[in-house]
Amino acid sequence: MTGIDTGALAVLLAASAGTATAVMLITFVIGNTRGLHRIVDVAWGVAFAAVAVVSWFLSDGYGDDGRRAAVTLATVVWGLRLAVHIARRGRGHGEDPRYARMLDRARGNRSLYALRTVYLLQGGLVWLVSLPVQVASLAPRPLDATAGAGLALWAAGVFFEATGDHQLARFKADPANKGRIMDRGLWSWTRHPNYFGDFLVWWGLYLTACVSWQSALLTLVSPLVMSGLLVFGSGKRLLENHMAQRPGYAEYRARTSGFFPRPPRRTARPPRPGEP
């Protein structure tokens, strides 16, 4: 794969899997002790940051120092920002309804069910989605135009995600907005600026690993899986199902893009069948 040491890659893949698993096991002990499994959402960003740091450490002497530093810093900044935001947002709240409903379906030991279906599953996803970070760390080629484009996409994604989260937090903090739908700022251009930001971040990090057709093919699963999760999995789909009965949400949905940003429609119309 254009100079990537396959032996070092095998070691790094194994170490990254162990790192993601370790973060999730520690989080499981904490969450199970507190009876609050929503803490796994905080660990999601932390696990990505931990994998990036391990990848940086183990790729010393194999990958280009500039590319290693850039991809590690980008992943750590994204992961820790997300973890801090989710921790602040969830402070003082009880269990996330998603996890409560999931655990209600458990047959047998609820703790073991949570370990399998919440923690270990997310640990596996962290490892899979972070493949570009692992591969890019071992790439011996200096940063090029493709990597530069990827880092620009990453920066745009962090802007969308962080700005959207900040705007929503300020909106919710105002008592006058209680019961209202957030439709201002970036939220007037897309119903999910934070998820769209994640989308850009991981397509951007994917580009940093595209040093050959083999590495591009190997790591393509990462942005595809993340995009699927954001649009069809635990992101957009679940949130919109939860919001569907809120007063004013149907009108907001009719005038605002479901994912990719665009100016809001001046005249709301009901969405066509199959339209996001």
Domain ranges of the chain: 6-255
Mean of the pLDDT values across residues 165-186?
91
Q: Which strand (E) or helix (H) includes residue 78?
A: helix 65-90
CA distance 55 to 77: 15
What is the per-residue pLDDT across 217-264, written as a single tens digit (0 to 9) for each?
999 999 999 999 998 877 777 777 777 778 888 888 889 998 999 998
Q: How far apart are CA 257 and CA 5, in angstroms?
A: 44
Q: How many beta carbons lie within 10 A of that of residue 142, not counting itself?
A: 10
For residue 24, pLDDT beyond 70: yes
Confidence of residue 9 (pLDDT cuts 50, 70, 90): very high
Residue 4 has pLDDT above 80, yes or no: yes
pLDDT digits 0-9 by tens, 55-78:
999 999 999 999 999 999 999 999
Per-residue pLDDT tens digits for 103-148: 777 787 888 988 998 899 999 999 999 999 999 999 999 999 999 9
- Per-residue pLDDT at 270 exceeds 70: no
pLDDT of the residue at 190: 93
The predicted model gives 170-181 an average pLDDT of: 90
Give the pLDDT confidence score for residue 94 in this predicted structure: 80
Report pLDDT for 128.
97
Q: What gap in Å lies between CA 156 and CA 84, rounded to an integer? A: 19
pLDDT score, position 161: 95
H or E stretch including 225? helix 221-232
Structure confidence at residue 209 (pLDDT): 97
Mean pLDDT taken over the chain:
90
Cβ pair 46, 80 in contact under 8 A? yes
| 8 A C-beta contact, residue 129 and residue 82 | no
Q: Which pTM value belongs to this model? A: 0.90
